[in-house]
Structure 1
Amino acid sequence: MKRNHWRLGAAATVLAVGIGTGAAARDTGLRPGWSFEVAPYAWLPSVDANLRYSLPPGIGGSADVKADAADYSAQFNFAMAVGATVRYDRFTLLTDIMYVSADAGASRVEGADIIGVGRNPISSSVNVSGSTNLKTTLWTLAAGYTLATGSWGNVDVLAGFRYLGVEATTDYNLAVTLLGPRGNAGPSFGGVGRVSGRDDIWNGIFGVRGRINIAQSGFFVPYYLDIGAGDSNLTWQTFAGIGYQSGWAGVQLGWRYMSYDQGRSSLVQDMTMSGAYLAVNFSF
């Protein structure tokens, strides 16, 4: 089975919290009682996904589409995210919601598996044009507990869930038409058309997060790692970077990576999102 491979680059300014910063730990340890954190940041992820569309019931079967976008930011439609971290002594509750919509040009159908016809690979020479729109919703909710803290930083464990909703639509223009088992009278796939699909993916996650302070300089290293499963065979996310905290405000620069591994019957066969982020965090 050929898979749909596509790489996108996106710039999304979002409001997200806690899951990316870990700034609730001070140089002298955690603050007693209640504390809160917000951190608006910009994330520029690239997306590498393998997708398989189900064809309409009149045709039956599936189709693989390849879409590439050299300049995804130029075709970026909309993005937003909001999150929060609430801490009480060693206990935390964090959430993060992100939504991105963007277009990927230079799409083409790579193959179709039509019921009664079988597998038909389609060469790039018969792909006249195409475009793909991807809408992605990502929501994480987790509770955490601080295992260790001090002037060196902190280590928290967390458990919760992550939801990934993907809605993809591809408009294609093929110079060839694949006919069904009844010839011209049967179902066909080709010419000008559209295929679309949606996946709702829920996974439980377990992870660790925190920060490592660099002496008494105000600089620190934030880190995060989670792993989980459920609707996915495996999903995991990690990031790390360098930050600077002065009182209630700070800034950090780092790299974030997220991966999903799905079954072959899903719209999303597998997907990764990775890229740099720049955050400004506020604690109170």
Structure 2
Amino acid sequence: MTHHFVRNVAAAAALIAIGASTDAAAQDTGLRPGWSFEIAPYIWLPSVSANLRYNVPSNFGGTADVKANADDYFANLNAAFALAGTVRYDRFSLLTDIMYVSASAGSSRVQSVNLLDVGRDPISSTVDAAGNSTLKTTLWTLAGGYTVASGTWGNVDVLAGFRYLGIDSTTDYSAAVTLVGPRGNAGPTFGGAGRLSGSDNIWNGIVGVRGRINIAESGFFVPYYLDIGAGDSNFTWQTFAGIGYQTGWAGVQAGWRYMSYDQGGNRLVQDMTMSGAYLAVNFSF
């Protein structure tokens, strides 16, 4: 994360906090005093689109670029766990969100191979480089927050923290051609049927805003969330919005969640997006 990026984001967050705090001073804060806790198990089954760059297993080195798509996580789901939680003391809060998903991306294709001494060789769909990828993904967010504005209408929190993405992926491929090095069988080869595998750990600092807008005194509300960040990624961002209902210590909310990563170089995850419906139940005490 560049210093320039950090300064710009910090300045924007400070302006939001100053302006919102001024408005909040003249109205009911709507805050629950003292300690409060919230636990929210949830389901998020996004469609996933990822460009992956594997290291080709060879003494001579090289990479293979794979396009993997999972349009229906539910149909290809192997395992899933997701839980969010918030600890709050007056205006201060600490939130965490952890999710683990193992799913297959049946629509996968090797797009190009770059072997040392051979160079980059694009592979067209006519050579039948179709395959299947399995993505095991762990997402963990931890951030501190501060309520800059609140009232009977809802609240606005600014937050700062980090997000971790850990991914283990494998791609089974079947290509109708075989690429070889200039020394024949003594050189690097790629083709036929085989498997590529890789793993990556991506850490990013994030800043953002979150909260809810209450709909009159009906118990219904509109939750919202947005963060942006950088670090191991060139850029990452996440957003969520939906509709919820709260009665006493229990509630439910549904909506749409989107997350994006943009990297480069020879990292496994070149870029990845996750987008889909979200359903959560929350318990407050």
TM-score bracket for the superposition, by shorter chain length: 0.7 to 0.9
Distance 1:128 1:156, change over 3 A: closer
Contact 2:55 2:64 in 1 (8 A): yes
SS at match of 2:267: coil
Match of 2:14 in 1: none
Match of 1:33 in 2: 34
SS at match of 1:29: coil
TM-score by length of 1: 0.86
Structure 1: stretches of 5+ with no match in the other structure: 1-26
Matching residue's letter, 1:246: T
Q: Where does 1:49-64 land on structure 2 (aligned, <5 Å)?
A: 49-64=50-65
Matching residue's letter, 1:187: P
For residues 209-230 of structure 1, give each alpha carbon's deviation from its aligned partner in whole angstroms, at most 9, with x where no partner exists.
1111111111111111111111
Report the CA distance between 1:69 and its aligned residue. 4.3
Q: CA separation in 1, counterparts of 2:205 and 2:69?
A: 31
Contact 1:59 1:189 in 2 (8 A): no
Match of 2:48 in 1: 47
Identical aligned residues as a percent = 77
Q: Where does 1:234-245 land on structure 2 (aligned, <5 Å)?
A: 234-245=235-246
Match of 1:101 in 2: 102
For residues 42-86 of structure 1, give each alpha carbon's deviation from its aligned partner in whole angstroms, at most 9, with x where no partner exists.
212111111111112424111112334454422210011233211
SS at match of 2:280: strand
Q: CA separation in 1, counterparts of 2:130 and 2:235?
A: 34
SS at match of 2:216: coil
Q: CA separation in 1, counterparts of 2:221 and 2:239?
A: 17
Distance 1:69 1:212, change over 3 A: closer
Report the CA distance between 1:200 and its aligned residue. 0.7
CA RMSD of the aligned region, Å? 1.6
Contact 1:59 1:188 in 2 (8 A): no
Matching residue's letter, 1:111: S
Match of 1:157 in 2: 158
Match of 2:195 in 1: 194
Match of 1:14 in 2: none
SS at match of 1:125: helix
More strand by share: 1
Q: CA separation in 1, counterparts of 2:65 and 2:86?
A: 40
Q: CA separation in 1, counterparts of 2:176 and 2:81?
A: 38
Report the CA distance between 1:28 and its aligned residue. 7.4
Matching residue's letter, 1:153: G
Match of 1:204 in 2: 205
Match of 1:124 in 2: 125
Structure 1, 227-236 or 58-67: larger mean CA deviation: 58-67
SS at match of 1:164: strand
Report the CA distance between 1:178 and its aligned residue. 0.4
Count how many residue pairs are aligned between Structure 1 and Structure 2. 258
More helix by share: 2
Match of 1:140 in 2: 141
For residues 186-234 of structure 1, give each alpha carbon's deviation from its aligned partner in whole angstroms, at most 9, with x where no partner exists.
2211112111111111011111111111111111111111111111111
Report the CA distance between 1:98 and its aligned residue. 0.7
Matching residue's letter, 1:184: N
SS at match of 2:75: helix
Q: CA separation in 1, counterparts of 2:195 and 2:183?
A: 22
Q: CA separation in 2, counterparts of 1:283 and 1:78?
A: 27
Distance 1:257 1:207, change over 3 A: same
Contact 1:29 1:150 in 2 (8 A): yes
TM-score by length of 2: 0.86
Q: CA separation in 2, counterparts of 1:129 and 1:273?
A: 22
Structure 2: stretches of 5+ with no match in the other structure: 1-27
